[in-house]
Structure 1
């Protein structure tokens, strides 16, 4: 054993490793999907099919072709890393909660027989989490992050409306609601505790 302890990785490095690892998995799965002639597409969330409910857990990792994945890659990485910087436990809660709520919205509110997949529900969850977090914490740094995130990605919030054929506004809406709810649960409680004290 070395006499000098190894320098611990920074949270930023951890964020890129974890979120980047998830993104890398998406690319690997899309490669497999391409080789197998889109065999993985059937593992998306199929609305109103009870057996498909379990697919909610992994549908964010699947995409309908390379353009779909490429379009999601940068916002997923940027917003996912920024969310991770709130802390690994908060990131994990937001990721899992958003995945479930977004998937359930797609399953419940999409037309019968629709298959939904892709990371955009998570992207909307990360986006609204970051926007709402600054409101709840009232910390200058997090408010500034909220402003920058809104300026960079705020226009995509229109994706919660049924304005584009072939795009799951249901998953987007579920993800957006879950992101706000996550921020309220994780940061609004802290605000209430500090007020009561």
Structure 2
């Protein structure tokens, strides 16, 4: 699926006033998401983590499949949420700046691939919550988008993201730590798929 109308938008042309305005609006929007997540975590804290139990993914159990949609909004305490907040804002800003429609569809694909990946492959004795699958999804999306769209702007984003968060790719490997490496791995794959599905077409060459 491509979005040809968005390609001609000045907001997607690096260096234009519309581009910087779009980036600023995206940053403000992503900053507004984090307080909402903190509010949810505060409510969960008051309910003794009952929201985690009710809305988390419980792998291979029917009563835990709705967590595919709710788990990105929940976290195992404030430290868990702190660790996801900064990369979520940064990576989400770059993804959102390229278009609201692409952002929504890409996020949906990442949530579904990451969530169902955890549900099918995770341990049934666990409850999985957290936005890290989405974070890894945005990471994978930006990496692949720079390749499939062959854009200098996207290559620059890829370089920045790789320098800041490239080391976190070890999080997609199996580990004995109490983290969902499956969520990271399938989130990353979901982002890569979204980058291909919702890529912009390359501009046609000007006729002579």
Tell me the TM-score normalised to structure 1 length: 0.88
Gaps of 5+ in 1: 1-7
Counterpart CA distance in 1 for 2:110 and 2:21 is 26
Following superposition of structure 1 onto structure 2, how do residues 166-181 of structure 1 map, counting pairs within 5 Å? 166-181=178-193
Counterpart CA distance in 1 for 2:51 and 2:91 is 26
Gaps of 5+ in 2: 1-17
Q: Deviations over 1:158-193 (max 9, x none)?
A: 111012421101111110000000111112x724x9
Which of 146, 153, 167 in structure 1 is aligned with 2:165?
Answer: 153
* Cross-structure match for 1:25: 36
Deviation at 1:22, TM superposition (A): 2.2
Counterpart CA distance in 1 for 2:34 and 2:52 is 17
Which of 66, 74, 98 in structure 1 is aligned with 2:78?
Answer: 66
* Cross-structure match for 1:11: 22
* 115-124 or 84-93, larger mean C-alpha shift: 84-93
* Cross-structure match for 2:131: 119
Distance 1:85 1:164, change over 3 A: farther
RMSD between aligned residues? 1.9
Which of 27, 30, 35 in structure 1 is aligned with 2:46?
Answer: 35
Give the structure, 1 or 2, with the largest relative contact order (CA under 8 Å, sep 6 or more).
2
Aligned length: 186
Counterpart CA distance in 2 for 1:84 and 1:165 is 32
- Structure 1 residue ranges (4+ consecutive) displaced by more than 4 angstroms after TM superposition: none
Local SS of the residue matching 2:175 = coil
Counterpart CA distance in 1 for 2:204 and 2:171 is 35
* Cross-structure match for 1:105: 117
Deviation at 1:50, TM superposition (A): 1.2
